[in-house]
Amino acid sequence: MPDNAFIQLRHFAAAIEAGTTKRAECPWCGGGQEGEKSFAVSRTSAAEALYICHRATCGRRGRLAVWGFRLEQLSDNSPTTEQQFTPRLYTCDTEELGEEWAAELLDTYGITRDEAVGVNWRVESHSGNLVVPICSRIGAVRGVEVRRSKVQVPIVSSPKTKSYKFLDEPWMGWYRKVTTGTTVLVEDPISALKVSRHFQVGCLHGSHLDLERLLEALEIVGGSNDLVLALDKDATIKALKFVVQWRFLAPNLRAVPLSKDLKYSTDEEIKQIIRG
């Protein structure tokens, strides 16, 4: 796209009040044959705006400075000014899932050993901690999360989880036994594995939904299917704030309040909660 088009885009954004969104024809696709006003620009602050084309065949999105230079076009693969990524490699020996973890998963969460083995969960040889691979939507391993047992070590001073990020990609694991319809974003891999019996799932490995992970989820979901944010019970208010924060980029994003975490819910409860 020519630079003068970005100047026009900045001028358009500058005329929008902070905290509001306006629509226009997309400067990339022109709104298609019918000239749809599919291009949304949201003024997030006095100095910045976000933009997105909601047409599935276009989907251009990014952020820009209202005055001055263009910050980035998120659909490009051009280098950014962020700090250089340094991988954190995982070098410990692992072994197949043992009886202790198999019992904990089944007794506490209703997850069978076959389900866990099916997504390549293993056990750290020296500690007995669970080793969960974080996989992209095409199955590439982005890293691993090492998770200690609640049953074996109920009170310890060490963190509950440790993360090892191999690739400079969104820290998000996908469980895609189901590949159509509603997509659910959850906090932890145990919830993700349970929910994946009925929906495709993105695991955030935490309670934060940043722009990078949201954009990846939107690429999978598209504009017509539900994107459900189902954070744990203690993060319901946080989930609702994310829906408000990202509503212009993801009008199909909604949050569901939980009376208990999904990892402790039955299959029928999960389906009822997600489908509303």
**Residue 271 and residue 184 share a domain:** yes
Higher-pLDDT residue of 177 and 69 is 177
Higher-pLDDT residue of 246 and 31 is 246
Mean pLDDT of the chain: 85
Would 181 be classed as within a structural domain? yes
How high is the pLDDT of residue 223?
61
- CATH number, domain containing residue 227: 3.40.1360.10
**Residue 206 and residue 127 share a domain:** no
pLDDT digits (tens, 9 = 90+) for 183-203: 999 999 999 999 999 999 999
How high is the pLDDT of residue 4?
56
Mean pLDDT of 151-163: 71
Would 81 be classed as within a structural domain? no
- Assign 5 a pLDDT band (cuts: 50, 70, 90): low
**End-of-domain residue from the set 148, 165, 182:** 165
Considering its fold, how many domains does the chain have in total?
Answer: 3
Judged by average pLDDT, the poorest of 124-133, 145-154, 232-241 is 145-154
**Residue 246 and residue 189 share a domain:** yes
pLDDT digits (tens, 9 = 90+) for 35-62: 888 888 888 777 778 888 888 788 788 8
Tokens of 81: 């000014």
**Residue 56 and residue 9 share a domain:** yes
Sign of CA dihedral 97, 103, 109, 115: positive
- Assign 72 a pLDDT band (cuts: 50, 70, 90): very low
**Residue 69 and residue 98 share a domain:** no
How high is the pLDDT of residue 184?
97
Mean pLDDT of 166-176: 93
Q: Which residue, among 172, 186, 93, has the nearest Cα to 134 in the 3D structure?
A: 172
The answer to whether the predicted template modeling score (pTM) of the entire model surpasses 0.75 is no
- Assign 63 a pLDDT band (cuts: 50, 70, 90): confident
**Residue 265 and residue 220 share a domain:** yes
How high is the pLDDT of residue 141?
93
Q: Which of 55-59, 62-66, 128-132, 220-224 has the highest mean pLDDT?
A: 128-132
Would 89 be classed as within a structural domain? no
Q: Which domain holds residue 199?
A: 173-275
